[in-house]
């Protein structure tokens, strides 16, 4: 950080030579000044990295062009201890990120990424540092840990390079609004006051933008309301409509806002389309098929909605409703993804092979939904089984697919195979209530009663638990947990230090996070399981919420779902984001759970949703039991 601050003060010419300084890292380039359209040799030394001793290394080069974000993948060739490969830099690139990997093992420079800017005549091109800053703001999909300080420093470099030694006509208030420097923030607040007093539409709109950058949501909303009254036909009014549309979940209100917004000749087309997508999905989920079809016609490209359409079709099948419509919707998703497999269209940040694999995974998922719908309709079990069999072959331990395949096997009389595939899935730790119920039907068919079924299940679960513990043992860590003190929803102070001697489960989540919410019923079961154990405590830390007034929303979510969680609320960090403690734990995505032992050391870090309530409880229970040992 000291180097960054120093560089921010250097003249533009010196800055031009500092962007891609070849520090001692495992990856080096053949030049400090990579150019678009020119060949570049990448040299990699895996010693001391997660790839040490691995063979068949590859490098992926992700180009930041603010448009298509293309990717090149190159096979590296071993030359002694080093690996090398050559790539021609994409013509549109302003910056690029290199990732070295072998299958799922990735070297991302310990979260910092191997990030480089593009040059011309040994000077960074226009937009190069902005592109690099984008990586540090949005880098999770590139396995780069977001770093607002680094991003801010790069934005500052871009500003200074574009000024080329000249004094700016006005300070870069948008950049200063992101700063943690109180003096700079004071200048921003002074500028906001001045902009408000000027009274012009442009000045008020800029003031609203700065308030947003400072995360002052209430002040921004208040000024927006004033600007909307004063300039009802200009940018502020359109901005207010956009915010109002996305802030509400009321479909009728969204519909009326859309009608107003879409009729404005100056409306942003991409925003109009985005609103149309929300209405299309909203009406589909609300089972208003007439309105759904109306808005679907207005969307230029629905391919990105296939996953959502598949989810709705599946939910209807589970509930046993709208089955003809579910079948039609499911068939449409299959036709759509099949067309994309036959005629692939590039996607941002994906190689051709990754895109092909992802499309095939989607086809399997959509086909599984379709065959399940046919089963629920009682239609042609043999045809459905023929379609489902290859899907199961590729996804043999997927609980849902195994359940659906087993149902079709039973429907065609093959109870023996149905039993064996469910047993294998349960033993692998993928048990679900659905699988257990189907297995019980198989047991009843074979034995004529459920006598002995509980003992039979206990044996399967014992195998599953032992296998899970063996896998978890490989994931155990032993590092000190960051100390923290936060307030709960009632304003009471809770510190991690006060729980020393106990096993503590820290679960980071947010109200907008789908996987977080999906895991919570299972976490409630886990909380109930250990509620009488005084040496086990659960802390659910709410973080990364949007805006300022999020506390009522958090309380409502917990209350509406009747969760008995001890919820703590993360505080804001220096950038104004609700991310103080979550950043200390170096969390990249949520939900993330940490299991902390009685000595205050993190023993497990578990990221994501396990797919079912049973799986959540099993995994959390195993981690707790192992941390207590």
Query: Does the pLDDT of residue 15 top 90, yes or no?
Result: no
* Phi, psi values for residue 399, rounded to 5°: -60, -50
The string of pLDDT tens digits covering residues 321-372 is 999 999 999 999 999 999 999 998 888 999 988 999 999 999 999 999 999 9
Q: What is the pTM of this model?
A: 0.80
- For the domain with range 479-628, which CATH number is right: 3.40.47.10, 3.40.30.10, 3.40.980.10, 3.30.450.40? 3.40.30.10
The DSSP annotation for 496-556 comes to: SGGGTTSEEEEEEE-TT-HHHHHHHHHHHHHHHHTTT-TTEEEEEEE---SSS--HHHHHH
Does CATH number 2.60.40.10 belong to domain 2-168?
yes
Angstrom CA distances, 338 to 150, 328, 330, 351, stand at 42, 15, 12, 18
- CA 332, CA 310: separation in Å to the nearest integer? 9
What burial class does residue 353 get, using C-beta atoms within 10 Å of its C-beta: 0-12 exposed, 13-18 middle, 19+ buried? Answer: exposed
Q: Which CATH number fits domain 380-474: 4.10.860, 2.40.160, 3.30.1490, 1.25.40?
A: 1.25.40
Q: pLDDT, tens digit, for every residue of 503-514?
A: 999 999 999 898
Distance (Å, whole) CA 63 – CA 34: 12
Residue count of the chain: 629
Environment class of 373 (CB within 10 Å of its CB; exposed 0-12, middle 13-18, buried 19+): buried
Please give the pLDDT value at position 169.
62
Provide the pLDDT confidence category of residue 116 given band limits of 50, 70 and 90: very high
In angstroms, the CA 450 to CA 270 distance is 58
Which contiguous run of DSSP H or E holds residue 167?
Answer: none
pLDDT band at residue 232, thresholds of 50, 70 and 90?
A: confident
With 0-12 / 13-18 / 19 or more C-beta atoms within 10 angstroms meaning exposed / middle / buried, residue 15 is buried
Instruction: Provide mean pLDDT across the span 71-92.
Output: 95
DSSP 41: E
Angle between helices 514-529 and 613-628 (to 10 degrees): 60
> Does 613 have pLDDT greater than 60?
yes
Confidence of residue 22 (pLDDT cuts 50, 70, 90): very low
The dihedrals phi and psi of 537, each to the nearest 5 degrees, come to -130, 140
CA distance 584 to 597: 18
Diameter of the chain measured on Cα atoms: 88
234 pLDDT band, cuts 50/70/90, is: confident
Q: 396-455, pLDDT tens digit by residue?
A: 989 999 999 999 999 999 999 999 999 999 998 888 889 999 999 999 999 999 999 999
Q: How far apart are CA 523 and CA 519, in angstroms?
A: 6
Q: Which residues pair with 345 in a beta bridge?
A: none
Q: pLDDT per residue over 466-521, tens digit each?
A: 888 888 888 899 999 999 999 999 999 999 999 999 999 999 999 989 899 999 99
Q: Say what the pLDDT of residue 6 is.
A: 30
If you compute the radius of gyration of the chain from its CA atoms, what whole number of angstroms results? 28
Domain ranges of the chain: 2-168, 170-247, 380-474, 479-628
User: Residues 54, 56, 57, CA angle at the centre, nearest 5°?
Assistant: 75
In this structure, the number of other CB atoms found within 10 A of the CB of residue 374 comes to 22
**Peptide bond before 591: cis, by omega within 30 degrees of 0?**
yes
Q: What CA–CA distance (Å, rounded) separates 296 from 292?
A: 6
In terms of Cβ atoms closer than 10 Å to its own Cβ (0-12, 13-18, 19+), residue 423 is middle
Q: How many CB atoms lie within 10 A of CB 201?
A: 15
Instruction: Give the model confidence (pLDDT) of 204-226 as tens digits.
Output: 989 998 888 887 888 988 999 99
Does residue 39 carry a pLDDT above 90? Answer: yes
Contact partners, residue 492, CB within 8 Å, separation at least 6: none
Q: How far is CA 331 from the centre of its chain?
A: 28
Whether 374 contacts 388, CB under 8 Å? no
CA angle, corner 97, sides to 94 and 98, nearest 5? 135
Neighbouring C-alpha atoms within 13 Å toward the C-beta of 600: 11
| Token output for 100 | 């070295």
- Write the burial class of residue 230 (CB in 10 Å: 0-12 exposed, 13-18 middle, 19+ buried): middle
């Amino acid at each position: 950080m000291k180097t960054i601050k120093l560089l921010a003060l250097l003249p533009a010419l010196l800055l031009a030579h500092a962007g891609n300084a070849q520090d001692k890292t495992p990856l080096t380039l053949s030049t400090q000044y990579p150019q678009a359209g020119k060949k570049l040799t990448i040299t990699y030394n895996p010693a001391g990295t997660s790839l040490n001793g691995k063979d068949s290394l590859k490098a992926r080069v992700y180009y930041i062009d603010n448009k298509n974000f293309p990717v090149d993948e190159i096979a590296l060739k071993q030359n002694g201890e080093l690996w090398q490969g050559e790539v021609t830099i994409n013509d549109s690139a302003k910056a690029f990120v290199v990732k070295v990997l072998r299958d799922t093992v990735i070297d991302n420079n310990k979260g910092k990424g191997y990030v480089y800017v593009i040059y011309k005549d040994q000077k960074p091109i226009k937009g190069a540092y902005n592109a690099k800053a984008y990586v540090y703001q949005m880098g999770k999909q590139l396995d780069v840990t977001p770093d607002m300080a680094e991003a801010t420093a790069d934005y500052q470099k871009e500003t200074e390079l574009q000024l080329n030694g000249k004094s700016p006509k006005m300070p870069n208030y948008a950049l200063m609004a992101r700063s943690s420097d109180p003096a700079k923030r004071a200048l921003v607040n002074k500028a906001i006051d001045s902009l408000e007093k000027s009274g012009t539409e442009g000045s008020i709109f800029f003031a609203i933008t700065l308030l947003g950058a400072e995360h002052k949501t209430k002040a921004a909303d208040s000024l927006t309301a004033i600007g909307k009254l004063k300039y009802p036909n200009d940018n502020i009014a359109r901005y207010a409509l956009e915010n109002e549309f996305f802030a509400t979940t009321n479909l009728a209100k969204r519909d009326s806002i859309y009608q107003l917004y879409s009729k404005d000749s100056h409306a942003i087309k991409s925003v109009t389309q985005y609103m149309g997508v929300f209405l299309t999905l909203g009406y589909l989920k609300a089972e208003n098929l007439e309105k759904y079809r109306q808005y679907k016609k207005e969307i230029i490209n629905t391919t990105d909605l296939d996953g959502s359409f598949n989810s709705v079709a599946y939910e209807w099948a589970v509930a046993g409703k709208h089955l003809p419509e579910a079948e039609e919707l499911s068939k449409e998703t299959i036709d759509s993804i099949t067309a994309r497999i036959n005629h692939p269209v590039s996607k941002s940040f994906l190689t051709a092979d990754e895109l092909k694999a992802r499309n095939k995974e989607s086809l399997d998922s959509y086909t599984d939904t379709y065959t399940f719908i046919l089963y629920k309709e009682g239609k042609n079990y043999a045809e459905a089984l023929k379609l489902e069999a290859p899907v199961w072959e590729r996804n043999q331990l997927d609980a849902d697919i195994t359940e659906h395949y087993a149902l079709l096997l039973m429907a065609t009389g093959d109870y023996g195979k149905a039993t064996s595939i469910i047993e294998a899935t349960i033993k692998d730790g993928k048990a679900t209530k659905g699988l257990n119920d189907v297995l019980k039907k198989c047991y009843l068919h074979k034995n004529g009663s459920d006598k002995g079924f509980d003992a039979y299940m206990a044996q399967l679960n014992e195998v599953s638990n032992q296998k899970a513990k063996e896998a978890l043992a490989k994931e155990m860590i032993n590092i000190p947990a960051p100390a923290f003190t936060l307030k709960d929803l009632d304003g009471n102070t809770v510190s991690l230090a006060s729980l020393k001697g106990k096993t503590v489960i820290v679960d980071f989540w947010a109200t907008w996070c789908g996987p977080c919410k999906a895991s919570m019923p299972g976490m409630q079961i886990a909380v109930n399981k250990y509620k009488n154990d005084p040496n086990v405590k659960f802390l659910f830390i709410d973080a990364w919420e949007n805006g300022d007034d999020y506390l009522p929303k958090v309380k409502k979510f917990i209350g509406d779902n009747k969760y008995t969680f001890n919820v703590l609320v993360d505080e804001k960090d220096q950038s104004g984001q609700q991310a103080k403690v979550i950043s200390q734990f170096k969390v990249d995505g949520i939900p993330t759970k940490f299991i902390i032992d009685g000595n205050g050391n993190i023993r497990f870090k578990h990221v994501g949703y396990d797919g079912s309530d049973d799986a959540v409880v099993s995994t959390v229970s195993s981690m707790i039991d192992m941390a207590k040992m």
